[in-house]
Structures are given as C-alpha cells and as structure tokens.
Structure 1
Amino acid sequence: MRHLKFAPSWLRFLIIFLLAMGILFRFFNLDGKVYWHDETYTSLRISGYTINEAKQQLFNNRVIDKESFAQFQGANQQKTLNATIMTLAKEAPYHPPLYYIIARLWMEIFGNSVTAIRSLSACISLLVFPCVYWLCRELFNVPLSVPGVAMPAAGVAIALMAISPIHLVYAQEAQEYILWLVTILLSSASLLRAMRLESQDKDKPVKERQRPDLFALWGIYTITLVISFYTFIWTAFVALAHGIYVISIGKFKLTEIVRTYLLATLVAFLAFMPWITIVIGDFFQFLISADKTTAQSSLIPIIPFLLMQLIRIFFDIDLSPDNPLNYLITPILLILVGYSIYFICLTTNYKVWFFLITLIVVPALPLILSSAGGIQLSTEPYFMPSYLGIQVAVAYLLATQLYNGSVSRRGIWHIIMALVIICGLISSKASSQAETWWNKGMSYGNPQVAQIINQTTRPLLITDALGNNYGNVFSLSYLLEPKVQFLLVNNQKILKIPDGFTDVFLLNSSDNWHEKIERKYKLKTNIVYSDQYYSVWKLAKSPKLRQRNIPPNNQLSASL
C-alpha cells in the first residue's frame, strides 16, 4: 500500500473546489425556501413571547394583516434575552437554550429577516470543515491504522461533507442541528486526542509527561460536551457512545483514562443539571396533565426510512419514494456504505473502527428500537451522529483506494469517487434552488397554497390555532402578499363572514365546521389544496350573502 503523507496536487485542488462550492451552496438563496412550521417556532422562541401570548393577540376573531405576525418572529424591544430563555424553559424545555441565545444576539445585530436567521446556521456550518479535519487526523493517526492516510482521509471527508445534501439542508435551517454537529465533532476530536496523549504519557518518565496539555484537553472535552448538551438534548446518547468506547478500549478496567473520562462526563452532566431539572419537571407535568394531545406527525416504516436517509447523505433530489431512480441509487449507495464499514473494520486498529461504529449505532438505536409502529419523519436530525460516522468511513475508503492495487482497480475507484461527487453537486444545486424540500414537513405545500391565494384579488384566510394550523399560518404569512387578510379565530364556531373580500379560504377546517358554514350560509365549498397534513377550502359566497348588512368594522360575531 502506498503511504501518502500529503494528498496529491490534483486531489488538493479538487478538495478546495468542492469546499468552495459547498460554501457557495450554503449561502445561496437563503430566503428562497419556505420558512416552515418549525422555523416559525424558532423565531417565536427567540422573540421571547409564549405561544399563549401570541394566540391571545392574534387568534381573537379579528381581521389582521401579515404585518401583525412580525412582532412574534424575532428580536424585539418588548422582550429581553431573559424572556427568550424563560419561554424555552416554560414551553419547550426539550430545546436547550444555547442556539436560541446565539440567534437572539445575532438577530439583534442583523435583523429578523429569513436571510438573517438562516445565515447564522450557514456561518456555523463552516466550522464543520476544520472540525472534521481535526477528527480525522486524530482518528486515523492511531498506531496500526494505515500509515499516512490521515491527511488524505481528512481532505476527502471535508469534500464529502461540503457537498453532502443532508448537511446542506441543516446548514440552511433556522434550527440548532448544524450547531449540534459542530459540538459532536469537537467533543469527539478532543476526546480522541486526550486519550492518545494519555496513552503516550503512561510509557514516559514522570518528568516528561504532558500533564498541562492533558488537563487542557480534558477540559476542552468537558466544555464541548457541556456546549453540546445545551445545544441538543440528544447529546446524552453521543456521550453514551463515547462512554462505551472509552470503557471498551480500557478493557472494562478502571484505568486512568477511564477515571478521567468519568470525571469529565460527571462535571459536564452537573453543569447541565439545571436544565435537566426543568426537562424532568416538564415531563412529570405532562404525565399528570389531562391534555396529552400530540401534534400531527407522519409515520413511516423503519427500513424505508433508514434507506431514504442513507441515500440523502450522498444523493437527494427530493424524489418520491416510488421513483425508479431510487431503485437504482439505493443499492449502489447501500453497497458503498456497507463496504466502507467492512473495509475500515478490516484494515484499521479496533480503536478506529469501534469509535465509528459506536458513533453510528448508539445515538440511532433508541429511535430504531422505539419504531415498532413506524418512525416519525421529524426525527431525521437525530441521526446526525450516524450521518457523520458513515461519511468518515466512506472518506477513509476512498482515500485509501485511490492509490492502491492495479491501475484498473484504481481507475474503478476514481470513477466511484467521481460519481459520489457528481451526485453531491447535483443534489446541492437542486436543493439550493428549490422553493420547498422534504425537510419542510407539514409546510411542504405552503408555496403552492400561497400561489393559489395570491392569485385572487382581495382574499381572506380563515383558520384557528388547533393542531398544525398555528405554525402553518405563520409560515404562510411569509409567502402571502400584503393584500391577503387573516381572520384567526379561537374556536371553530360558525362565523359571520365580513364583507369586502372577493375570495374566502378556510385553512384546515374540520369537516363539521365547514359543513355547518355551508348549511348556515348556503355556500359552495371547494377544496383547492390537500396533503397528508392539512387542506385548504375556498368558499364561494352566494349573491344573498354579498348583499347582507355587515358591520363596517369587520368584527366577527360567533354564534353556535
């Protein structure tokens, strides 16, 4: 096997090119995609307002315009940073506050636009590249691994992550997931380096040991683990993966490395204890509460879900599940990933492959084991550690095979790498230019809904705050033109419809509600949009209704 200390010039040029393209894709068209349901909740939490406060001021049976939503979608002078933290603690403790604190400070500087809030994630995503470089250097510098492969593998890993469709999705999302990826990389790399120096020190005389450096590294690991905890609560399973790795490498003995690791993890857990207390309190309050309704979610069988996510690491053009291209791409990528994991287990020290296996399996296992009835589509970000482990394994395979074996063998691997790169570039281009994407979930069809409503002359949109309606009406407010008015009600009663509107739309009404409206006003209702999450009805007002004497202030009176 040829030992490469540095990547060849053509590979360095390719890595730089792909890195530049990845950065360009991350900042291109940031405001082009629909600002969806979950992102509007991010902006609400940043604003410091609670859901109930927003509902009281907006869903009160009055006609409002789209500007009325702005107060609840970003930093404002009425609420402080402390209000942002208290809102999270009260209504969303499963979302730790670090990202929201950073986002609040960011929006106070750069404004509340979609471009501003998403640019924070895009900037954070740039930290992924030096972090994954550090991780690969530490991982593949372990003795008995393939000599000289650390730098080429690190470079290929940077290239793959730069054009990875799954990373591009979260690099343009106003949520905490890309920051979580950075913290996973930092904590993992600092752990590996601390363990490596600790192992080297035990064979040295006491005077030559690098105790200050070791203390600093374990301190970095502790701090990054705390930061990761305060970014995303699923870090607990990343820490568990680290623990399984450290204890297994120590052969289940209480070695100095194991003791130091346990101390660092304990300190990190104690630092996170204030927020854990809030989470536990919220969980018990949920158990004793009479209201145990959950948001609508879509379930999918676990095997198709995992295959779909596996494809999206390398190739994603938002194909429907039954598209024939999926049947071609899926087995190819499945073979590539499977062989990458097999190859790294076969050719490297167990300290290398066991780290990647635990990182891939442990955080994903709770989701897989709990998916007997199907897995929620909203859980894709929870697999972020698995995406990372798979990409590093593939990067290692490609880096070692480009210069191994016969000329024909190397040619085959050059073609495979070229195909992986082409898939990533095509996917990134398609994703960056799209108006909506698979991760937009229940708001996927909002651009189509907005187009239907915007085509009318003077439209009125009526809905309530039940289920997904609250987040989706906020999402639609970003897409609808100023001429569109909103009538947000606090319950589904029969309304006296205000005059002066050419078209009236009903967002996600129950069958009982719009049937009552049909009977009372003798309206003709037509469904103009429908998907698995919600539907939109258009009410055709009869001439008799248009001639009714409606109060001039457009206030609605509700009657049973």
Structure 2
Amino acid sequence: MTYLFIPVILLVATTLRYYHNTAVALWHDEAFSALYLRYPWDEMFYRIGLDVHPPLYYIILRLWSYLASDSLLSLRLLSILFGVLTVWAGYLFVKQTFGNKKLALLASLLLAINPFQIQYSLEARMYTLGTFLVLWSSYLMLKALDSEGRQSLKHWAGYGIIIAAGLYTHYYILFSVAAQGLYIAFYFFKTRKLNILFKSATAYGLSLLLYLPWIPTLLRQIKRVEAAYWIPPMDRWSAPGTVWKMMFGGQGIGRIYLAIATLVSILLILYFIKKVRSFTKWYILFGLLVPIAAAVTVSLRTNLYLDRYFVFASLFFSILVIISFSKIPNRALRWFLIIALIGGSLFAFFKNWTDLNIENKPGMSAVSAYINQNAKAPDQIYVGSSFIFFTLKYYNETGIKPLLISSGSLETIPHFSGTALLTNSDLISDISKAQKNSTIWLLWTTGFGGSKPQVPANWKQLSEVSYEDAPGFKGRIVVTKFVVH
C-alpha cells in the first residue's frame, strides 16, 4: 500500500505548491535569482560573491533555465520540484529513523501540506533546495551509522558530498550540520565504536575539501554582513512567532496565540522526550533546537534571526509533532489530533491565501505591465527604491533602461540594497537635469520603508497608477507619469 500512498502524497504536495504559483508578483529577492542568469557565467559568479549567499542554487537555476526558460513560472517550478523532493526525502528519513512506514507516510503528508514549507516553495530562491539537502543528508547520516563495510563508506561519502552541497546552498544549513555532528557525537558515546569517529571525520573532511574554494568568498561576505545588514533585532516575541509560522505559515498572528503555541510546543517536546524510546529521537530534537539556539546566539552580535531561515529546522518540528501524536495511547484521541492537525494545516494554507488578497493586490506585475504598454522611447524610467528596481528590470520589456535614483555613487549604497547587481551607470543622482519636454515615468513604493521621491518643480504630473502588492510588507507600487517643462 505504501507504493500507492506515496504518489498520492507527492501529488498533493505538487498541487498545493502549484496553487496560485504565479499570482503573487516576483519580488526583490527573486529578482536577484532571475537577473543573475542574464550575466555570463564568470560575471555571474563575480556578482554572487558581492552578495551574501552561496552559489549552488543559482548554478542549478541557470542550468534549469536552459531547459525551462526564465519565465516566472519556470523559475518557481524549480522550487516546487525541490519542495516535492523534500516531502519524498522526509518519508525516507522517518522510515529510516523509526522503521515505521505508516509513521513515515504521516510525516511526509504533514510536510506536503505544511503551510510554512509551501510558502517557500512559491519563491525562486534556495530554500526548498536547502530543505531537500538537509533531509537527504540526515537520511544518509543515519544509513551510514546503521551500516557496515563498503555500504557504510558509500553512505559516509554521500553524506560528506551532500552536506557540502547544503553549505553551498544557504549558510543557515551550517546549523543543521552542527546538529548532525552533535548527534554523531552522542551516538559515539552510546556505542563506543571508534570507527564512527574515523568515518564521520572523513566525511566532514571531504565536505571541507569540497568547500575550500568558497571559503575566501565566505569570509568576505561575513565581513560585509557584520558591517551592515537589514535584519531587525530580536525581541521576546521573535521565537514564539517562529514557532507559529513553522506550523501554520502566514504573515503573523496575535500575541495570545503565539504564547499558547509556544506553551503547547514546549509540552510536545517534553512529551516527545518522555514517550519516544528510539535513540534517534535526539537527532530530531537537535535538528529543531540547535539551529534556533545557534541563530539566537549569533544574533546577540549580528542580527541574523529571520523566520524564513528556519525553514530547515521546521522540518524536524513537523516530524516531532506527528511522532508525538503517534505515541498517544488512546486511539480515538490520537487520530482526532492527527486529523485535526491535517485539517488545521489545510485551513491555514487556504486562509493564508485569503489573507494575501491577491485578486486585489497584483503589485509589481500590474505596474510593470502598465509601463510596458505605455512607456515608449525616448521616455525615461526612474525608480525611487532599489527594492523594486531589480523587479522592474526583470519585468521590463520597453527597451528603456531604468535608472535608480540615488543620492550618491555605488560606493555609498548599503550592500543589502542590491549593490551586487548595480553599476554606477544604473544610477541617477540629479533628476533635475532631465531635458525639457521629456516624459518621465517615476516608479516608487510605500513598501520597504519607501515613499514618493521629491521631484523638481518643473515636472508636471500627467497621471498616476498604483497597485497594492502582496504580502503587505511590499506596500503599494506606484507609477507616476510626468512631463518636464
């Protein structure tokens, strides 16, 4: 029966991730993914190095684009693919961890419908590649610990390669690798098998060897983030907010619900520790708690705590919850809670879409379509915020080069505003020099802390069109047409 349920679960995962996939406009971070593909390979690597993320996702996305194009659907389809592979890897991991196919099916179903996991399958970013690699490396680690001889060596080698791939995907995966290393240490102290230390050290050595070429770039990126970054400081509601989003996604909820969710989560963790007898339970706990603890610790120095970066740790939270429910002795209560969790996840999924109100918030896609239809050379397009500049560059079909309004040169702009993709030729510092009788299209946003740029007195406004974007932090996208007198 397993062979019947797995395809159904994967189909559900695909359907939910494809649902409204292109209804939300491409945004700043995704524009980076798309625009990297337009550079020659050598310049693409150079510009990735100027940013703050490792390169593997962009390499795979570029190869994917050769087959599937760089349309919005094609870009996001790659994330859907890895999101579905994450569900499959979750099944294999739980089956290997507990030797229970039914439990593995339930865990994979929960991953398939988890709103937080689905949320990041909608973005042309590296998150679902990372979730797949985290679960796949976890599976290989357990296989390596449970096998002997050549089979063990094969699994350890695969493990070393996959964790290197993970580190080339997102730096937060280092925290997941640390959780794996901690579990291997625990496993050694339990079994006293010296060959485990040797083989695991060899796997980590292989991973380090594969990662060595990127370390100089990593160190430069670390300095860049330490110097200035945009993530706000943590507060006492940061962790409770993360706990809620791990299970139900969305853009946030009232604090009373956050407090309740945190209390329930703590009780579930304690119940999990008490009721689950398998030693592998410690890895589930480490996979969840080590990344959170590490992120909090690092953020005491540099603010790096961001909900979406816990999409990797949240895998283990979903697994922990379903395993905890499976240990409830009362069959009726057990299945009531499991069904309620499945129903609650699906309800949250559709509610999150309703809250986005995408029918009335086409945002950048609508504004860009308006500009493409109406702006003609020799019109000029000026953009008031870097957080919509790159998005416009992706959508732009006018043949007009947009210019970003800036008070200074490229060197004066914070790196997190997108300097990796900017040159001084993209900037305009004095818009008052626009020629008489020229037509100016001014694009600006109320999102990302933005507002309407101050325009010269000799600019006469002809029209203005605006659309709300979704989610809400993107604000209202506005295009104002002027003629210069």
Q: TM-score range by the shorter chain?
A: 0.7 to 0.9
Whole-Å Cα distance in 2 between the matches of residues 215 and 449 of structure 1?
A: 51
Deviations 1:340-367 (A, max 9, x none): 3222211233622221121112222232
Q: CA deviation digits over 1:441-468, x for unaligned, max 9?
A: xxxx983476579789957885457xxx
The verdict on how the C-alpha distance between 1:327 and 1:19 changes in structure 2, with shifts beyond 3 A counting, is farther
Aligned to 2:127: 177
Structure 1 partner of 2:200? 261
Q: Secondary structure at the match of 1:351?
A: coil
Whole-Å Cα distance in 2 between the matches of residues 267 and 512 of structure 1? 50
**Residue 194 in 1 paired to residue 144 in 2?**
yes
Which position in structure 2 is the counterpart of 1:106? Answer: 64
Distance 1:36 1:434, change over 3 A: farther
TM-score, with structure 1 as normaliser: 0.69
Q: Which amino acid aligns with 1:88?
A: I
1:250 alignment partner in structure 2: 188
Which stretch has the larger CA shift, 110-119 or 509-518?
509-518
Q: What amino acid maps onto 1:417 in structure 2?
A: I
Q: CA deviation at 1:514?
A: 4.6
**Following TM superposition, by how much is the alpha carbon of 1:255 offset from its aligned partner in structure 2, in angstroms?**
2.1
Letter in 2 for 1:387: S
Q: Would you say the 8 A contact 1:33–1:436 is kept in 2?
A: no
Contact 2:164 2:208 in 1 (8 A): yes
Q: Where in structure 2 are the equivalents of 1:345-356 lying within 5 Å? A: 345-349=273-277, 351-356=279-284
Counterpart of 1:173 in 2: which secondary structure?
coil
Alpha-carbon deviations, 1:81-132, whole Å to 9, x = none? 344334323x23x422222111111111111100011111111222112211
Aligned length: 452
Q: Give the secondary structure class of the aligned counterpart of 2:237.
A: helix
Is the counterpart of residue 271 in structure 1 residue 229 in structure 2? no
Name the structure 2 match of 1:362: 290
3-state DSSP class of the match of 1:179?
helix
Note the 1:68-467 alignment, pairs <5 A: 79=40, 81-89=41-49, 91-92=50-51, 94-141=52-99, 150-197=100-147, 210-251=148-189, 255-283=194-222, 294=229, 297=230, 299=232, 301-318=234-251, 321-322=253-254, 327-328=256-257, 330=258, 333-349=261-277, 351-372=279-300, 379-401=306-328, 404-405=329-330, 410-431=331-352, 447-448=362-363, 463-464=382-383
Partner of 2:429: 492
Instruction: Tell me which amino acid in the other structure corresponds to 2:32.
Output: Y
**Aligned-partner Cα distance in 2 for 1:285–1:306:** 26
> Counterparts of 2:75 and 2:210 in 1: how far apart (Å)?
28
> Does the 8 Å contact 2:272/2:320 carry over to 1?
yes
Q: 1:215 to 1:298 in 2, by over 3 A?
A: closer
Distance 1:486 1:373, change over 3 A: same
- Alpha-carbon distance between aligned partners in 2 of 1:461 and 1:529, rounded to the nearest angstrom: 21
**Among 17, 20, 25, the residue aligned to 1:29:** 20
- In structure 1, what is the Cα distance between the partners aligned to 2:15 and 2:380? 37
Distance of aligned partners of 1:259 and 1:107 in 2 relative to their CA distance in 1, 3 Å threshold: same
Query: Using a 3 Å threshold, how does the CA distance of structure 1 residues 255 and 427 change in structure 2: closer, same or farther?
Result: same
Aligned with residue 46 of structure 1, among 26, 34, 37: 37
Identity over aligned pairs, percent:
18
- CA–CA distance in 2 between the matches of 1:286 and 1:394? 35
Q: Equivalents in 2 of 1:114, 1:525: separation in Å? A: 29
Choose between structure 1 and 2 for higher RCO, CA contacts under 8 A separated by at least 6 residues.
1
The alpha carbon displacement at 1:536 in A equals 6.6
Structure-1 separation of matches of 2:132 and 2:368: 40
Deviation at 1:508, TM superposition (A): 5.7
Contact 1:88 1:95 in 2 (8 A): yes
2:412 equivalent in structure 1 = none
Distance in 2 (alpha carbons) for counterparts of 1:480 and 1:87? 21
User: Which residues of structure 1 form unaligned runs of 5+?
Assistant: 1-5, 49-78, 142-149, 198-209, 438-444, 549-560
Deviation at 1:498, TM superposition (A): 5.8
Cα distance in 2 for residues equivalent to 1:134 and 1:281: 37
* CA RMSD in angstroms, aligned pairs only: 4.1
Change (3 A) 1:421 1:481: farther
Equivalents in 1 of 2:286, 2:247: separation in Å? 21
Q: 1:471 Cα deviation (Å)?
A: 4.0
Q: What is the deviation of 1:419?
A: 2.1
Give the whole-Å Cα distance in 1 for the aligned partners of 2:355 and 2:361: 13
Per the alignment, do residues 262 and 483 of structure 1 end up closer, same or farther by CA in structure 2, a change over 3 Å counting? closer
Q: Which amino acid aligns with 1:103?
A: L
- 1-side partners of 2:355 and 2:184: how far apart? 43
